[in-house]
Amino acid sequence: MGAMTFESDGFLSDLAPMNATQIVPEFAPFNMLAYKLNRFALSVVKKPRTAPQTLEEILTIALVGRLVQDFGAAVILANRGFRAQSRNMARSTLETAFYCTASCRNTVLTKSNSQGQVSFFDAFLAGHEQFRRRVSKELAGLSETSSELKIRLNNVYQELSNAPLSSGIDVKGLAEDLGFLDMYTVLYRPLSQDSHPSATSVEHHITTNEMGAVSGFRVGPDYEQYDDTILAAVAALLLGIGAYIENFGDAEEQQTHAEIASEYKSLAEAKVLKA
């Protein structure tokens, strides 16, 4: 098949970075912070605690597990040079952090759900039931769906016919309910540009000459905005795991969280001053 180069095979090339813990020295401070926070977050999640007593507590624990894995995915993709994809995962980490915080606080939603004041937990479940109801009806209407499956899907639809209407949880409204509209505007909005094939994100994949004309494609690792991406993911994990510790953690975990948050602040401020 011949040599697998970036030009011929892109990220499937033999030359693509495979070790997610190795990165160029200039990014070392950001990586060290990410690895330190990741190890701490995992220790928090894995620490034996009182068994959850309610569905709300079970949901919170599940969301924290999702949060830690979102963060890990963002770091791995960033380290391997997937610029847009790592920023997409940083955005997902922040969205999950909002959900974690709302679940930990049992937040009453006023701006993120069209049904008026409702608890986060109720809105979360109602959104899921509405999703199941809508999809079951759509699948039952496909010509490819067997008669047996149509009956089962119609049963699901009827079972959920009286489910409370829900528009789901709007991320911006949720951030506003939590008092995090600044984080939504400064972090979530820019990251969203790389979560879709937007005019911003597609520019990552082409090169231009001095006249601004397209001169080629970028098919290898892209480390522009690497530090921004890692810092955004770190901010998100600090937010979500911090809310979890407030509810279920101990004084030692709160102290460690504060120390890592201080490191994040110092690194972010130094980056701003350098810019």
Task: Give a yes or no: residue 137 inside a domain.
Answer: no
**pLDDT tens, 199-250?**
888 888 888 888 878 888 877 788 889 999 999 999 999 999 999 999 999 9
Task: Give a yes or no: residue 3 inside a domain.
Answer: no
* Domains in the chain, number: 1
For residue 222, the model assigns a pLDDT of 86
Structural domain that includes position 66:
29-102+224-275
For residue 166, the model assigns a pLDDT of 62
For residue 213, the model assigns a pLDDT of 84
For residue 120, the model assigns a pLDDT of 92
Task: Give a yes or no: residue 15 inside a domain.
Answer: no
Task: Give a yes or no: residue 64 inside a domain.
Answer: yes
Task: Give a yes or no: residue 165 inside a domain.
Answer: no
Q: Binning pLDDT at 50, 70 and 90, where does residue 90 land?
A: very high
Give the pLDDT mean for 149-159.
88
Task: Give a yes or no: residue 67 inside a domain.
Answer: yes
Task: Give a yes or no: residue 117 inside a domain.
Answer: no
For residue 156, the model assigns a pLDDT of 87
Q: Binning pLDDT at 50, 70 and 90, where does residue 45 land?
A: very high
Q: Binning pLDDT at 50, 70 and 90, where does residue 252 land?
A: very high
Give a three-class secondary structure readout of the chain. CCCCCHHHHHHHCCCCCCCCCCCCHHHHHHHHHHHHHHHHHHHHHHCCCCCCCCHHHHHHHHHHHHHHHHHHHHHHHHHCCCHHHHHHHHHHHHHHHHHHHHHHHCCEECCCCCCCCEEHHHHHHHHHHHHHHHHHHHHHCCCCCCHHHHHHHHHHHHHCCCCCCCCCCCHHHHHHHHCCHHHHHHHHHHHHHCCCCCHHHHHHHEEECCCCCEEEECCCCCCCCHHHHHHHHHHHHHHHHHHHHHHHCCHHHHHHHHHHHHHHHHHHHHHHHHC
Task: Give a yes or no: residue 248 inside a domain.
Answer: yes
